[in-house]
Amino acid sequence: MTSPPAPPGPTAPGRHQRSDPTPRPTLASRGRDVLGDRLFRYLCLAAGCAVLATLVLILLSTLQQSWPALRESGLGFLTDSAWIPNDPDGPGPRKATFGALAFIYGSLVVSAIALVFAVPVAVAIALFLTQVAHRRLRGPAVTVIDLLAAIPSVVFGLWGILVVAPALAPVYDGIHGALGGIPGLGSLFGEPVSTGRGYMTAGLILAIMIVPIITSLAREVFTTVPAADMQAAYALGATRWEMIKGAVLPHSFGGLVGAVMLGLGRALGETIAVALVIGGSVQVTANLFASGDALPAVIVNQFGESGPLHRASLIGLGVVLFVITVLINVAARFLVRRAEIRMRGAAA
């Protein structure tokens, strides 16, 4: 390091200098590329913002519309299970009461029943279609299941009211007779309504309605499982079911939760089919065979003939439904994130 380096510059003699120097590579950004990239980014951003803005606008406008009712009822709107839009004694001194608890409860119970029945069935169908069924069977089977999704919900509701509910009423009676006496468990299977219209029937109809969407999403999820993982399981001597447990399901957890969430969203929001078969009564009871009501069903049944406060209260029900859906989805994301970190490490 004794001799100072030659000063840089075009005149400096250097070993690398050739008679025909190769042009310096241009690393500076080229305008056109940057423009396209920017445009694309803004487009994506705009699309994302539009979705968010729509959500916020819906929330704000419904909140504003329902504000008179929410102010009037206060916290009782969420905690009170009495919903008396008109004074039963005719126009008199008693005030109308708007408590949404029975409907919140009904919505959650009916959706829970739907998931309990639909998720295992849908996952099983999806596993069958992706892992077991012969390739030639897959096409027709998928078509049939997708057709199920094409049936209008009002048809499901009519089928429920005309066929399913009457058919299930004696079944409920039987279950009530067998299990009703057991303490604790018995309260779930209490005295059924004679028409068969209630939480259970609504839940079952909903289950049938959400099976196609969960199946179809679960199928997509299962087909993304890497063949390498499945081979690893087989190479250890796994049976098909053991392979599914070890390789397919762990890989699919996040996707499956997403599929279930979409099914749940549909179940929570389903209006007309539930309105037809849930029975329409305002109560909070553990008895799954009892009749009840759900948020969207109440809205659609009462909206036409409502006075101003009643109307605001019904919109309030919509706000509650919206908030419930958002909360459940956020909780699901959190759950998935935690599970993914556990299964794949923080890089996932």
Partner 1 sequence: MNQMTFPDHRPLTTAPQGAGLVPDPRQAPAAAPVMNLTDVSVFYGSYEAVRNTTMPVHTHQITAMIGPSGCGKSTVLRSLNRMNDLIPGARVAGGVTYHGQDIYERDVDPIQVRRRIGMVFQKPNPFPKSIFDNVAYGLKVNQIRDDVAGRVEQALRGAALWDEVKDKLKTSGLALSGGQQQRLCIARTIAVQPDVILMDEPCSALDPIATSKVEDLMHELAGQFTIVIVTHNMQQAARVSHHTAFFTAEVDANGVRHGRLVEFSETGRIFTNPVDKRTEDYITGRFG
* Residues engaged in binding partner 1 (CB under 8 A): 135, 226, 228-239, 242, 246-247, 250-251, 341-348
* Contact assessment for residue 86 and residue 96, using Cβ atoms and an 8 Å cutoff: yes
Report how far residue 265's alpha carbon sits from residue 259's, in angstroms, rounded to the nearest whole number: 10
| Type of residue at 155 | V
Of 118, 135, 91, 293, nearest in space to 207 by CA: 118
Backbone φ, ψ for residue 98 (5° rounding): -125, 100
Closest CB to partner 1 among residues 137, 343: 343
Nearest to 310 by CA among 62, 27, 84: 84
CA 48, chain centre distance (Å): 19
Question: Between 72 and 340, whose beta carbon lies closer to partner 1?
Answer: 340
Instruction: Considering the complex, state which of residue 220 and residue 340 has its C-beta at the smaller distance from partner 1.
Output: 340
Minimum CB separation of residue 330 from partner 1 in Å reads 24
Residues 311 and 303: beta-carbon distance below 8 Å: yes
Q: Which residue lies nearer to partner 1 by CB, 175 or 238?
A: 238
**In contact, 218 and 262? CB cutoff 8 Å:** no
How far apart (Å, rounded) are the C-alpha atoms in residues 201 and 62?
A: 31
CB of 334 to partner 1, least distance (A): 18
Smallest gap, in angstroms, from Cβ of residue 338 to partner 1? 12
Query: Shortest Cβ distance from residue 215 to partner 1 (Å)?
Result: 23
Give 43 or 348: the residue with its C-beta nearer to partner 1. Answer: 348
Closest distance of CB 258 from partner 1, Å: 16
